[in-house]
Amino acid sequence: MKSNTENPTFESYNRDPKLYDEIFDENDNVRETYRTLFNLYSEHSAKDFARLNDKAKSSFFNQGITFQVYGDHEIKEKIFPFDLFPRIIDAEEWEHIEKGVLQRSKALNEFLRDLYHDKKIIKAGIVPLDLISSSANYLDQMNGFDPPGGVYNHISGTDLIKHSDGKYYVLEDNIRCPSGVSYVICNRTALKRALFGVFNHYQAYSVTDYAENLLEIMESVKPKGVDVPNCVVITPGIYNSAYYEHSYLAKAMGVELVEGRDLFVENDFVYMKTINGPQKVDVIYRRIDDQFIDPLEFKPDSALGVPGLMASYKKGNVCLVNAPGTGVADDKAIYTYMPEIIKYYLDEEPILNNVPTYHCSRPDELKFVMDNIATLVVKPVDEAGGYGISIGNRLSSEEIEEVKRTISASPRKYIAQPIMSLSVHPTYIEDEDCFEPRHVDLRTFTLLGQDKDFVLKGGLTRVALQKGNLIVNSSQGGGSKDTWVLKNNQ
């Protein structure tokens, strides 16, 4: 491999010709975007990277940048794994991504508005009624209700991969409580601390403006009659997997981080308990799932939410970000209709590709899935964090039969997709003390407000740290990289 001779750090790096490598092209040459960075990294030895890796880990540990992993019998708190080699996305490529994710977020907002009002897309025969009525995330309480500013999915996280053909594909749209943006910002901080000089050679966009844009979005959907809204972030508490992110965002926006017990409702207005007496709350960025936000409306035994919150919301006295009931559009079965949803509401062609997807509730597609599980990825429609996923070519014949039985018991709950060739990126592997190719994806973050939108110029590049693994979620042992979006094509 020619490039290895230029950089001793990559002497043992083996590019797989069947996969798209983010740094090396098909002739083993370093892609131009990475050339400067590649040369800068050649100034370091493997021993240097081991030291820098330890420095980055200490930085994350000292800042308390952690996440929780839920096992069968216990919860483990882990330091979020961070890789030293950043991913670079050039200006032209980013423009395509940004337009595409914004298009999807706007289309999904129109879809939600329609589902909770006229249901025109169902009447037009584009999305089947039973797909909506059978969704556990469709809330009758939202029917006919207009959220402040007309926005449902204020915050969207879109997961993309680059396939072996070099094109981006959307894996899924996350619009319930997409996590990960705090790690985007922390990754940038950690890399600056470890390798500050590298930023002098590239003009990359900052990612630290997310919190101020999030606060502007929240303020833009304030209830009528409120001049300066009081915004808060509500968290389920310290045992939630994303608690670090909840606390980080509240602190970065300069607003209070609260739990359900810190709020109460009186005369259909929401108040926060403070040492100076009750303080009215106008906008709540809620990181609690729908079923737990109000025990009077949903789970009566929930201790996480606020009794009466939905009544206050429906009276227009408080805004919830994201709106309850957005999960119906987050359902992976809905993903299969995204090209049609975009065309129907926006009269535009989809900018980003969907991965071909089979929904097991359709008899002909169910038969195909059952006959071809060994070549497919099977996913539950309502799970997150990489839980419940089966990758066909990794399964034994017994495991394939078990997956078939699981699908047969509840076809509505499963989709299947071809096994995509996620691109790979050089990643420092601590046990091997060198860089090796590992699969990556990209989560982008889009904000929608009243007359304002924003796409963070960066994202969370997630890395599957195990060799050959395609599941990049941190809960499944994945790590992450700093992601640079260039201001111009350098």
Element (H, E) at 216: helix 210-220
Contact status, residue 242 vs residue 460, Cβ threshold 8 Å: no
Peptide bond into 322 cis (omega under 30): yes
Residue 3 pLDDT class (50, 70, 90 cuts) = very low
How many residues comprise the chain? 490
- Work out the average pLDDT over 427-455: 91
Mean pLDDT across 445-463: 95
> Strand (E) positions, 307-385?
319-321, 353-354, 358-359, 376-380
CB-neighbour burial class of residue 451 (10 A; exposed 0-12, middle 13-18, buried 19+): exposed
Q: At what angle do helices 46-63 and 181-194 cross, to 10 degrees?
A: 130
Most confident of 139-153, 181-195, 475-489: 139-153
The residue behind tokens 């796409």 is 455
Contact of 466 with 479, CB cutoff 8 Å: no
Tally of CB atoms within 10 A around 161: 21
Going by C-alpha positions, the residue among 101, 76, 156 that lies closest to residue 327 is 156
pLDDT tens digits for 278-288? 999 999 999 99
The two tokens of residue 440 are: 């990556």
- At 51, the amino acid letter reads R
What distance in Å separates the CA atoms of residue 456 and residue 438, rounded to the nearest whole number? Answer: 24
Q: What are phi and psi of 11, to 5 degrees?
A: -55, -35
Query: What residue spans of 14-90 are helical by DSSP H?
Result: 32-41, 46-63
Distance CA 103, CA 88 (A): 23
Place of tokens 């169902």: 122
Quick check: 477 pLDDT over 80?
no
> Which pLDDT score is estimated for 386?
63
Average pLDDT of 188-200? Answer: 85
Region 245-252 average pLDDT: 95
Asked if the model's pLDDT at residue 474 lies above 70, the reply is: no
pTM of this structure: 0.91
Identity (one letter) of the amino acid at 346?
A: L
Q: What is the pLDDT of residue 469?
A: 78
Distance CA 342, CA 107 (A): 5
Token output for 486 = 């260039």
Quote the pLDDT of residue 4. 52
**pLDDT, the chain, mean:** 90
Residue 2 has pLDDT above 80, yes or no: no
1 Cβ neighbours under 8 A, 6+ residues apart: 10, 13, 14, 15, 24, 28
For residue 137, pLDDT over 50 is answered with yes
Using CA atoms, how far residue 434 sits from 4, 275, 423, 478, in Å, is: 12, 54, 19, 18
Please state, in angstroms and as integers, the Cα–Cα distance from residue 348 to each residue in 103, 115, 321, 339, 455, following that order: 9, 20, 27, 9, 19
Identity of the amino acid at 318: V
Across 108-113, average pLDDT: 97
Nearest CA to 105 among 451, 448, 337, 456? Answer: 448
Q: What percent of the chain has pLDDT over 70?
A: 93
- The span from the CA of 428 to the CA of 419, in Å, is 25
